[in-house]
Amino acid sequence: MAEPPKPEKVELCVFCRRHAAEPAWRPFCSERCRLQDLARWADESYRVPAEAADQAEKVTDPDG
Ligand SMILES: [Zn+2]
C-alpha cells in the first residue's frame, strides 16, 4: 500500500520548454531565454502603444 515517491516536479523553462528552470533565472532556464522572452514582449508592447500614442497626439485637430 505504500505510495510510490512522487517524482520531483521539474519546472521547465517557460520560453524554450526544454530545459529545467534555473533558480537564478526562474522561470527560465538561462539568462538567454529570459532576455529573449523579455525582448519578445518588449517588441510587441513597444510598438502598439508607441504608434497609438503618436497617432493620438496627431489626431487632435487645432482647428477643431
Ligand atoms: Zn530556456
Task: Tell me the per-residue pLDDT of 2-42, one tens digit each, with 9 for 90 and over.
Answer: 888 877 788 999 999 999 999 999 999 999 999 999 999 88
The answer to whether position 5 is within a domain reads no
Tell me, in angstroms, the distance from the centre of ligand 1 to residue 44's CA: 20
The answer to whether position 25 is within a domain reads yes
DSSP reduced 3-state for 63 = coil
Tell me, in angstroms, the distance from the centre of ligand 1 to residue 31's CA: 8
The answer to whether position 38 is within a domain reads yes
Point out the least confidently predicted range of 8-12, 36-40, 47-51, 57-61.
47-51
pTM, two decimals, is 0.55
Tell me, in angstroms, the distance from the centre of ligand 1 to residue 38's CA: 12
Tell me, in angstroms, the distance from the centre of ligand 1 to residue 63's CA: 54
Tell me, in angstroms, the distance from the centre of ligand 1 to residue 39's CA: 14
The answer to whether position 28 is within a domain reads yes
DSSP reduced 3-state for 14 = coil
Q: Closest by alpha carbon to 28, among 11, 6, 50?
A: 11
Which one has a higher pLDDT value, 43 or 36? 36
DSSP reduced 3-state for 19 = coil
Q: Which domain holds residue 18?
A: 12-59
What distance in Å separates the CA atoms of residue 37 and residue 25, rounded to the nearest whole number? 12
What distance in Å separates the CA atoms of residue 39 and residue 17, rounded to the nearest whole number? 17
For the chain, what is the domain count? 1
The answer to whether position 2 is within a domain reads no
The answer to whether position 4 is within a domain reads no
